[in-house]
């Protein structure tokens, strides 16, 4: 059996001002990934954990479809989401995406029905869903188990009960309280109540619930025996799983750093390095990763950097990685090979560098770095974020919040309408060329002139109405003189 995980962190929301950008999701995903693949307690291989950040609705659908389609019947599926959770007037629960509009949730957000649809199509018989977002207790229609998820082996843990709010991280380097307690529990803080050497769903949920307290308790819906699904090992020697034997047990081996192919001769103390929001002028110290032999044979190691911004060197059992990232997202890897056995391990590296601030402009971005300590303190508050955090395009793999973009210029105000009196005056002057019409045209033109002087368009129309009106009066005078002459 293989443990497979899809971890999604949506921190940025570009299409709706009512959805605030969040500090925590990128860090929540990174911390949970580190816990699931922890060398001492993790039960997931790094290659079997997929990390996704800032997905649009269509991208989210595609990722779910690809991930669920790749699962086998014996695989354990773990789906985790950190971001905004929303509920419409019909109590339908949605996961927010980067293009979500609160007024059009059905069309722009991912409903629990859609999520369940993708998960049902997966062949995996054991599915664990963990949601760290507001109103996540409404998943599956207000907490009532839907027939659609009635198959054995589906387990849901949410950060809130019902439509309650969830505390989010206060700083870019912090995690939400719910995910932080989850991570600590997976890394050994949760008690092994039944003494089987593993931390199962019941035990991890009980630990998180105790830590969250009665004011903001988490929620769970277990459709099956949660005691039979283990997510972590205790630090003591423990079997890979507590409730079934892996069918491919002959092809893998366990070390203090986790599970590796049977032919592996060494392991790396870290499989992923993630640095977020690095300043453009910031110097990055080299990262040092240790190499642990998995057997008595000597190693003949070689290391190759994949990425021109990476430098790598080997010094005994230490792998030193230098980084010269450019502005934006930088993704690379270090491939370490034992030339004697052909055994290979990969160190993935993701670094996001903020673009330099404009001259004289304050750098209001928040700096967040990889937290090397599993026991790092977390500061949190309800849905907090900086007011000037811009939105970046979907698909940035690590980090968020580059420096604020210049505000868009306001559209020019429409010009005032042309004076109506000026138009009427011109029409009267032309149509009623002499007599009373010319007099009325001059009167209206005089009133229209005041509107034009105050800023209304129509100065040329007023001038034309006056000229034609005066001409009409002159014609009227000549007509009266001619009529008097004829009668005399």
**Confidence band (pLDDT; 50, 70, 90) for 380?**
very low
- Give the model's pLDDT for residue 100: 96
Domain ranges of the chain: 3-246+254-382, 420-487
Spatial separation of the C-alpha atoms in residues 196 and 175, rounded to whole Å: 30
- Give the model's pLDDT for residue 377: 35
Spatial separation of the C-alpha atoms in residues 108 and 394, rounded to whole Å: 14
Q: Does the pLDDT value for residue 40 go beyond 90?
A: no
Spatial separation of the C-alpha atoms in residues 52 and 390, rounded to whole Å: 19
- Give the model's pLDDT for residue 390: 35
Q: Pairing state of beta strands 76-82 and 318-323?
A: unpaired
Spatial separation of the C-alpha atoms in residues 10 and 23, rounded to whole Å: 10
Q: Does the pLDDT value for residue 251 go beyond 50?
A: no
Spatial separation of the C-alpha atoms in residues 427 and 351, rounded to whole Å: 71
- Give the model's pLDDT for residue 402: 38
* Residue 316: closest CA among 335, 303, 330, 327: 303
Mean pLDDT of 304-308: 89
Between 241 and 353, the more confident residue is 353
- Give the model's pLDDT for residue 252: 43
Q: Pairing state of beta strands 344-353 and 328-338?
A: antiparallel
- Give the model's pLDDT for residue 141: 37
User: Which range scores top for mean pLDDT: 267-271, 273-277, 338-342, 398-402?
Assistant: 338-342
Residue environment code for 380-390, b if the CB has 16+ CB neighbours within 10 A, otherwise e:
beebbbeeebb
Q: Yes or no: say if 83 and 133 are a contact pair by the CB < 8 Å rule.
A: yes
% of the chain surpassing 70 pLDDT: 72
Q: Yes or no: say if 71 and 120 are a contact pair by the CB < 8 Å rule.
A: no
Between 317 and 133, the more confident residue is 133
Domain 3-246+254-382, what fold? Rossmann fold (3.40.50)
Q: Is 334 exposed, middle or buried (0-12, 13-18, 19+ CB in 10 A)?
A: buried
Taking each helix axis as running N to C, give the angle between helix 201-212 and helix 177-184, from 0 to 180 degrees, rounded to the nearest 10. Answer: 130
Provide the CA 153 distance to its chain's centre, in angstroms.
29
- Chain segment 387-427, per-residue pLDDT in tens: 333 333 333 333 333 333 444 454 555 666 766 777 777 77
**Confidence band (pLDDT; 50, 70, 90) for 365?**
very low
Q: Yes or no: say if 378 and 172 are a contact pair by the CB < 8 Å rule.
A: no
Angle at CA of residue 38, ends 37 and 41, nearest 5°: 110
- Chain segment 160-191, per-residue pLDDT in tens: 988 888 887 666 567 889 999 999 999 989 99
Joined tokens for residue 473: 């009066």
Lowest mean pLDDT among 185-189, 365-369, 431-435: 365-369
- Chain segment 94-110, per-residue pLDDT in tens: 999 999 999 999 999 99
Q: Yes or no: say if 20 and 385 are a contact pair by the CB < 8 Å rule.
A: yes
Q: Which stretches does DSSP call E strand in 257-393?
A: 258-261, 266-268, 272-278, 287-293, 301-306, 310-315, 318-323, 328-338, 344-353, 380-382
- Give the model's pLDDT for residue 245: 36
- Give the model's pLDDT for residue 214: 86
Q: Does the pLDDT value for residue 292 go beyond 90?
A: no
Spatial separation of the C-alpha atoms in residues 166 and 133, rounded to whole Å: 6
Helix or strand holding residue 30 (H, E)? helix 25-36
Q: Does the pLDDT value for residue 314 go beyond 70?
A: yes
In the predicted model, what is the mean pLDDT of the chain?
76
Q: Does the pLDDT value for residue 386 go beyond 80?
A: no
pTM: 0.51
Q: Does the pLDDT value for residue 36 go beyond 90?
A: yes
Joined tokens for residue 167: 């505390």
Residue environment code for 416-429, b if the CB has 16+ CB neighbours within 10 A, otherwise e:
eebbebbbbbbebb
- Chain segment 463-477, per-residue pLDDT in tens: 777 887 777 777 777
- Chain segment 200-243, per-residue pLDDT in tens: 999 999 999 999 988 889 998 877 666 668 899 986 543 433 33
- Chain segment 116-161, per-residue pLDDT in tens: 889 888 888 789 999 999 998 888 633 333 333 334 478 899 999 8
Q: Yes or no: say if 43 and 230 are a contact pair by the CB < 8 Å rule.
A: yes
Provide the 3-class DSSP secondary structure of residue 272.
strand
Spatial separation of the C-alpha atoms in residues 391 and 384, rounded to whole Å: 16
Rg (CA), the chain: 35
- Give the model's pLDDT for residue 262: 59
């Amino acid at each position: 059996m293989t443990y497979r995980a899809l971890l999604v962190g949506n921190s940025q929301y570009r299409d709706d001002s009512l959805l605030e950008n969040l500090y925590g999701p990128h860090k929540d995903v990174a911390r949970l990934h580190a816990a699931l693949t922890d060398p001492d307690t993790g039960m997931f291989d790094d290659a079997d954990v997929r990390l996704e950040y800032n997905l649009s609705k269509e991208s989210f659908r595609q990722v779910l479809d690809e991930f669920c389609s790749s699962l086998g019947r014996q695989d354990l599926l773990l789906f985790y989401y950190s971001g905004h959770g929303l509920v419409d007037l019909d109590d339908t629960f949605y996961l927010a995406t980067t293009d979500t509009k609160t007024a059009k949730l059905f069309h722009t957000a991912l409903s629990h029905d859609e999520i369940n649809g993708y998960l049902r199509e997966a062949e995996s018989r054991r599915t664990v869903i963990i949601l760290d977002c507001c109103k996540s207790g409404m998943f599956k229609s207000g907490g009532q188990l839907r027939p659609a998820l009635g198959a054995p082996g589906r387990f849901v843990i949410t950060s809130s009960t019902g439509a309650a709010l969830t505390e989010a991280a206060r700083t870019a380097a912090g995690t939400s309280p719910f995910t932080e307690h989850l991570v600590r529990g997976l890394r050994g803080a949760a008690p092994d109540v039944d003494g089987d050497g593993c931390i199962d769903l019941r035990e991890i949920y009980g630990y998180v619930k105790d830590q969250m307290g009665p004011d903001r308790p988490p929620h769970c819906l277990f459709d099956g025996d949660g005691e039979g699904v283990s997510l972590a090992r205790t630090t003591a020697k423990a079997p890979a799983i507590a409730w079934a034997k892996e069918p491919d047990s002959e092809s893998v081996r366990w070390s203090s750093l986790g599970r590796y192919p049977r032919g592996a001769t060494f392991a790396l103390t870290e499989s992923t390095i993630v640095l977020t929001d690095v300043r453009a002028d910031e110097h990055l110290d080299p990262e040092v990763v240790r190499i642990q032999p998995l057997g008595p044979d000597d190693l003949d190691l070689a290391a190759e950097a994949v990425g021109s911004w990476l430098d790598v060197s080997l010094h005994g059992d230490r792998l030193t990685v230098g980084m010269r990232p450019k502005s934006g997202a930088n993704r690379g890897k270090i491939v370490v090979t034992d030339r004697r056995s052909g055994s290979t391990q990969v160190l993935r590296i993701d670094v996001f560098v903020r673009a330099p601030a404009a001259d004289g402009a304050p750098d209001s971005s928040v700096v967040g770095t990889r937290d090397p300590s599993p026991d790092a303190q977390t500061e949190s508050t309800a849905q907090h974020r900086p007011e000037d955090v811009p939105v970046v395009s979907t698909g940035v793999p690590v980090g968020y919040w580059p420096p604020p973009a210049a505000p868009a210029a306001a559209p020019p105000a429409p010009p005032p309408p042309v004076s109506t009196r000026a138009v009427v005056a011109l029409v009267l002057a032309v149509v009623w060329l002499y007599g009373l019409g010319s007099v009325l045209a001059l009167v209206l033109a005089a009133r229209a002139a005041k509107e034009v002087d105050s800023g209304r368009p129509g100065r040329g129309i007023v001038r034309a109405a006056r000229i034609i009106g005066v001409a009409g009066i002159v014609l009227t005078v000549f007509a009266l003189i001619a009529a008097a002459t004829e009668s005399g």
